[in-house]
Structure 1
Amino acid sequence: MRFAIVGGGWYGCHLATALDALGMQVKLFERHSRLFHEASGNNQFRLHQGFHYPRHHATRMQSRDGFMRFVERYPQLSASVPHNIYAVPAYDSDMDFSTYRLIMTATGVEFSELTDSPVKLQSVSGTIATHERVLMISRSREYFERKLASRLTLNCQVESIVDHGTHVSVDGEPYDFVIDATWGHLTRPAIDVFYEPTMLLYYEGPVAFPALTFVDGALCSLYPTEDQAIYTLSSVPHTPLGRYASSEEARASLGRVNGDLIALKVAQMEEQISKYYPGFRDLFRFVGPQLAIKTKPIGAHDDRSCSVTRKGRVFNVMSGKIDTIFTATERVLSLLEMSVASDESTGSTLRQDILGMAL
């Protein structure tokens, strides 16, 4: 079988290597000059275990299981975060600390409650420490470019996908199936989505400073990157730059980002995190913004789980989590197996059997 995969992020790269390992003919198209150029390389670099999502069971379970599988499959593409703290604010969280702790205990992921935090926080009702990892984006980019080699086509903007029933063509070239891993930037997903341009902020700070995540609700987090002295600051209310019905509108919004907007976001996010960690401005220095676009499902409250849909010979992959790449691969193969089984079916003979017995 010949597969065309569009989008050279985590999902496109993992799917390409997985299908290639199964003996499929694979070609991966990426419109930029390198892999991980958009959302996969512009995010918080966090490999979750589900502690972000106490309000959505499926996302927690996929994060927990995906974390373990990711570390096993790609041990060299992430690094341990030495100190990783989740804190529940006393007044601003949508959930009290006891409820949060109970939910995470039921999830089955190891954590320890902190009685003495290594970072001086204020206005929090409880903190826990747990194991998470930071993604090594530069190393991942090099790994997949080497692994895919001749199966990778960079600097290639796919213009058309046409399903002919017996095959599907990508810019006129025939394939058996196409996987759209662009998060709705090429073909429209089967589920209702919106496009959210975002701005995270890069800060320089002390090496090996603890990761800080405040949960749950319209809060913020500080997380390390592959550079041990660079961190990202993210905020639920201040990181989004709008909500748009189309990819084109979201991209246009990023094009309007200017110095005034960046200065506003810096002020808002620093004020928010300083409410709980008053020492932030003393230790961290702003170095620049990080821009990206997220594609999110409409009406799915806190749902970041993986969705794979198929229309004809075109698969569409959607997920808000990097570590559900394995779930995506399994669902593509499952839908493919169902298709092959349907094509090979000879149909039911029950009606003929009944009529034969009646005679």
Structure 2
Amino acid sequence: MAYKIAIIGGGWYGCHIGLALQSLQMDVTVFEKADRPLHYASGNNQFRLHQGFHYARHHGTRIQSRDGFIRFTERYPNLSAPIKQNLYAVPRETSLMDFDTYKLIMVSSGIPFVEMPEGSPYLTNIDGVIKTDERVILLDNARNYFSQRLKGNLHLNTAVEAVSNSEDGVVINGVRYDYAIDATWGHYTKPPIKLIYEPTILLYYETSHDMPAVTFVDGPLSSVYPTEDPSIFTLSSVVHTPLGQFSTPEEAVRTRDDVTGAVSLAKRQAMEAQISENFPKFRDYFRFAGVQLAIKTKPVGNFDDRSCYVYRDRRLFSVLSGKIDTVFFAVERILASIETEQSNAGTPSIGPIKGDILQRELADKF
């Protein structure tokens, strides 16, 4: 049966879910309040398509990323590109685990890598380095792809003003839908768990050198990663990228929008100092180019869980995930929930099993 489904948010999850449902002949409408898809958090991050190497402390996220990486490259072969040299380095003093433990976790997770016995000429005070094949998202390609494939079903510059959710359907902006999916990461409806909203600052750097991607693991460390333009890299830090943590999205938006030049400079100095501890010539190879601001939504808790969750309230689903490569899990869980509901609809009937048993018993006597 074809359903009429509304999706709130035209980021990676909203667009992917919309496209997947559209391919199943669903009547899909994607609402995006910006003037282009992938405008907010989906277009303001490190554009990393990873395999789970920086989630050594959470098995579920690691496995979802491993499997999602393979599925993503198969489903969207032209929306990402390989990284020429992608390194994960375990610092000797600041990592939460030693190199041998880190390798053991990755081997047991079935994630392929090559150990670099000589380390890297750019890095110092390192316990060990591995090299692995990961990819960078081609953001402009992705925007064009979803705009073309979703066509009239993607409604840009369209904010969701009102939602009424019931057992029979969801009414959005006065129009009834069979189901609705909130892909705004708790900015419109709230999943039934405690969340924090984290405004962030991402730094951009230019280089004329052939530099590797470097991610320091595991713990409150930093990483430098290329964009789709190989001369432009991003610098992020688990400690210094956040601008605060808030219980409401409104507070996070205000903090993001109030960032001053002084705040930007302080963050830049802190992040450069942190990465220079193990990448001492970072400032020699990279030149600061600018900043990008966004908001992340995270579950509250002392764990490193960024895997995909789907919550349901009557006919309204809400999606929460920390990584782009888990989009497939969201679609599967939504469809499974709809299918279960529809298969259980109607009045149960009593089958002919008693008659079959009796007939077989009588037949055996003659």
TM-score bracket for the superposition, by shorter chain length: over 0.9
C-alpha offsets along residues 161-218 of structure 1, whole Å, 9 cap, x if unaligned? Answer: 1013322100111100000000011111122211000011000013541000000011
Please list every run of 5 or more consecutive structure 1 residues that lacks an aligned counterpart in the other structure: 350-359
Assess, with a 3 A threshold, how the Cα gap between structure 1 residues 253 and 348 changes in structure 2: closer, same or farther: farther
SS in 1 for 2:283: helix
Cα deviation, residue 348, structure 1: 8.3
Corresponding residue for residue 115 of structure 1: 117
- 1:83 Cα shift? 0.2
8 A Cα contact 1:119 1:210, kept in partner:
no
Distance 1:300 1:4, change over 3 A: farther
The runs of at least 4 aligned residues of structure 1 exceeding 4 Å deviation read: none
Query: How far apart in 2 are the matches of 1:206 and 1:181?
Result: 38
Deviations 1:78-108 (A, max 9, x none): 0000100000000000001110011011111
Q: 1:33 aligns with which of 32, 35, 41?
A: 35
Is the contact between residue 82 and residue 208 of structure 1 (CA under 8 Å) also seen in structure 2? no
What is the match of residue 358 of structure 2?
A: none
Q: 1:1-359, aligned counterparts within 5 Å?
A: 1-206=3-208, 208-299=210-301, 301-346=303-348
The TM-score normalised by the length of structure 1 is 0.95
Change (3 A) 1:207 1:139: farther
Q: Provide the C-alpha distance between the structure 2 equivalents of 1:256 and 1:105, rounded to a whole number of angstroms.
A: 44
Overall identity of the aligned pairs, in %: 53
Q: Distance in 2 between matches of 1:90 and 1:297?
A: 30
Query: d(CA) in 1 for partners of 2:63 and 2:83?
Result: 21
Paired residue secondary structure (1:343): coil
Secondary structure in 2 matching 1:233: strand
Matched residue type, 1:72? E
Distance in 1 (CA, whole Å) between partners of 2:164 and 2:323 is 29
Instruction: With the length of structure 2 as denominator, give the TM-score of the two structures.
Output: 0.93
Cα 1:345–1:269 shift into 2, 3 Å:
farther
Determine the C-alpha separation between the residues in 2 that align with 1:198 and 1:214: 19
Q: CA deviation digits over 1:96-139, x for unaligned, max 9?
A: 11100110111111111102234421111100001100000111
1:122 aligned counterpart, secondary structure: coil
TM-superposition CA deviations, 1:40-93 (whole Å, max 9, x none)? 000010001010001000000000000000000000000000100000000000
Deviation of 1:346 (Å) = 2.3
Contact 2:308 2:321 in 1 (8 A): yes
Alpha-carbon contact 2:48-2:137 (below 8 Å) kept: yes
Cα 1:115–1:147 shift into 2, 3 Å: same
Superposition RMSD in Å: 1.2
Q: 1:255-308: CA deviations, max 9, x gaps? A: 210000000001000000110011100010111111100000111500000000
Query: How far apart in 1 are the matches of 2:308 and 2:349?
Result: 33
SS of residue in 1 equivalent to 2:322: coil
Separation of aligned partners in 2, 1:300 and 1:107: 22
Query: CA–CA distance in 2 between the matches of 1:242 and 1:68?
Result: 34
In structure 1, distance between residues paired with 2:82 and 2:222: 21
Q: 2:205·2:232 contact (CA, 8 Å) conserved in 1?
A: yes
Q: In structure 2, what is the Cα distance between the partners aligned to 1:81 and 1:235?
A: 20
Q: Residues 347 and 206 of structure 1: is their aligned pair in 2 closer, same or farther, counting only changes over 3 Å?
A: farther
Q: Which amino acid aligns with 1:266?
A: R
Alpha-carbon distance in 2 for matches of 1:229, 1:178? 41
**Residue identity in the other structure for 2:313:** K
Q: Distance in 2 between matches of 1:245 and 1:119?
A: 43
**Relative to structure 1, is the Cα distance of residues 46 and 207 closer, same or farther in structure 2, using a 3 angstrom cutoff?**
farther
Does the Cα contact within 8 Å between 1:27 and 1:151 map onto a contact in 2? yes
What per-residue deviation string (whole Å, max 9, x for no partner) do you get for residues 322-359 of structure 1?
0000000000001111111232352789xxxxxxxxxx
State the AA in 1 paired with 2:27: Q
Q: Go from structure 1 to structure 2 and tell me whether the alpha carbon gap of 1:245 and 1:96 turns closer, same or farther (over 3 Å shift).
A: same
Contact residue 66 and residue 111 of structure 2 kept, 8 A:
yes
For the residues of structure 2 that align with 1:14 and 1:105, how far apart are their CA atoms?
A: 31
Which stretch shows the higher mean deviation, 68-77 or 191-200?
Answer: 191-200
The answer as to whether partners of 1:201 and 1:289 remain within 8 angstroms in 2 is yes
Contact 1:190 1:316 in 2 (8 A): no
Q: What is the rounded CA distance, in whole Å, between the counterparts of 1:48 and 1:188 in structure 2? A: 28
Single out whichever of 160-169 and 192-201 deviates more from structure 2: 160-169
Q: Does the 8 Å contact 1:16/1:26 carry over to 2?
A: yes
Structure having the higher Rg: 2
- Structure 2 residues not aligned, in runs of 5+: 352-366
- Report SS of the residue matched to 1:344: coil
Tell me which amino acid in the other structure corresponds to 1:301. F
Distance 1:210 1:6 in 2: 37
